[in-house]
Amino acid sequence: MFESKSAGPSHRTHIRAGQPWWRIDWREIWEYRDLLALLVKRDLTAIYKQTILGPLWFIIQPLLTTVVFTVIFGRVGGLSTDGIPHFIFYMSGTILWNYFQGVLNHGAGSLVGNTGVLSKVYFPRMVIPLSGVFVNFAHLALNFVLFLGFYVWFMLRGSDMNPNGWLLMFPLLIVQCGLMGLGFGLWVSALTIKYRDLRFALPFLTQLWMYATPVVYPASLVVTPQWKFLLWLNPMTAVVEFNRYAFTGRGSPDIAGLGLSWVVTLVILVSGLLLFNKVQRTFVDTI
């Protein structure tokens, strides 16, 4: 079985100390695209094996969250929703937030959670956090179908919602959301190597973060300029707010805020990529 000459181009590997910190071998990651695809497939199929409801959990989870938010923040708390039907308001925020959080968590655990494999065999480690972007995108797609269903139903019942041109930007918002989750995930993953505390702090921090994002309240609730700036500095604010605006024509779309959120997203993403790339080279020594 070793007779056949391998078909690929001759492989030359140069191993040396102190690779420049800015060099990320994208070509190598591309070489491992099949692994990326399989990791995505594995995560999508393996999680729900031996569960009764299976992939239905993808739908039940955001649905229940939306119901809880509607009851607690909408009915009991009586928070404004800018006149958007409560269910649509909370659901639109929830599914995007879930996507962001899913990518973030996947990335955050990519090094520490896979030490077993990573200390035994080499493949570009970046593949693991990248796979999280796609796995969670599949979850998001399912959730979005659910959302569309409710959206159309509310429209047919005559709710006052005005979808507009910003809908064209919707795919871009999804991309931004994924990149943001990836960027922060890479940061946390790299920092967790040194400080394991982050593992315990992360669920708590993301929950706080969600309440700092206009998921359960509209951005219009924040009026003082200083707080407004802080709100829009959080890159998720723009994603959630613009998404709502695109579908309903209500809310407070702030173009400057969107620009700012893209700047923050790209800064976090690029710095995250570089930091992760630096840490992954020798992380098995410290783990």
Partner 1 sequence: MTEPAISVRNLSKCYKLGTIGRHTLVDEAQYLWHKIRGKDPREHFSKIGHTATEARRVEAEQEGNQEFWALKDVSFDVQPGEVIGIIGRNGAGKSTLLKILTRITEPTSGEAFINGRVASLLEVGTGFHPELTGRENVYMNGTILGMKKREIDAKFDEIVAFSELEKFIDTPVKRYSSGMYVRLAFAVAAHLDPEILLIDEVLAVGDMEFQKKCLGKMQDVSESGRTVFFVSHNMAAVSRLCTRSLVLINGELSFDGDTPDAVSKYTAISLKAEACASWSDKDAPGSNGFRLKEVSVRGIDDEPVGSVDIRQPLCLKIRFSLDRDKMKFRCAMALYTQGVCAFTTIEKEEREYLQAGEHCLLVRLPGNILSEGEYLVGVSVFASRGVKSHFCRIPDAVAFHVSDCMDGGSARGDYAEGLGGVVRPNLEWVHE
Nearest distance, CB of residue 206 and partner 1, angstroms: 19
Phi and psi based region of residue 190 (left: phi greater than 0; alpha: psi -120 to 50; beta: remaining): alpha
* Residue nearer to partner 1 on the CB measure, 52 or 168: 52
Buried b (16+ CB within 10 A) or exposed e, 16-30: eeeeeeeebeeeebe
Q: Which stretch binds partner 1 (CB under 8 A): 58-66, 102-110, 190-198, 231-239?
A: 190-198
* Residue nearer to partner 1 on the CB measure, 3 or 156: 3
Buried b (16+ CB within 10 A) or exposed e, 177-190: bbbbbbbbbbbbbb
Asked if residue 110 lies in contact with residue 185, where contact means CB atoms within 8 angstroms, the answer is yes
Nearest distance, CB of residue 4 and partner 1, angstroms: 7
Q: Which of 59, 123, 159, 206 binds partner 1 (CB under 8 A)?
A: 123
Q: Which stretch binds partner 1 (CB under 8 A): 2-10, 79-87, 167-175, 212-220?
A: 2-10
- Interaction of residue 35 with partner 1, rule CB under 8 A: yes
**Contacts (CB under 8 A) with partner 1, residues 62-121:** 116-121
* Residue nearer to partner 1 on the CB measure, 27 or 157: 27
Nearest distance, CB of residue 127 and partner 1, angstroms: 10
Nearest distance, CB of residue 143 and partner 1, angstroms: 23
- Interaction of residue 25 with partner 1, rule CB under 8 A: no
Token pair 């579908």 is found at 247
Q: Name the residue among 249, 238, 75 with its Cα closest to residue 155.
A: 249
Q: Compute the residue count for the chain.
A: 287
Residues ≥6 apart with Cβ < 8 Å to 287: 111, 112, 115, 119, 193
Q: Which of 27, 34, 76, 165 binds partner 1 (CB under 8 A)?
A: 34
Asked if residue 88 lies in contact with residue 150, where contact means CB atoms within 8 angstroms, the answer is yes
| Phi/psi at 83 (5° precision) | 80, 5
* Residue nearer to partner 1 on the CB measure, 19 or 220: 19
Residues engaged in binding partner 1 (CB under 8 A): 1-4, 6, 8, 10-19, 32, 34-35, 37-39, 41-42, 45-46, 49-50, 116-123, 194-197, 281-282, 284-286
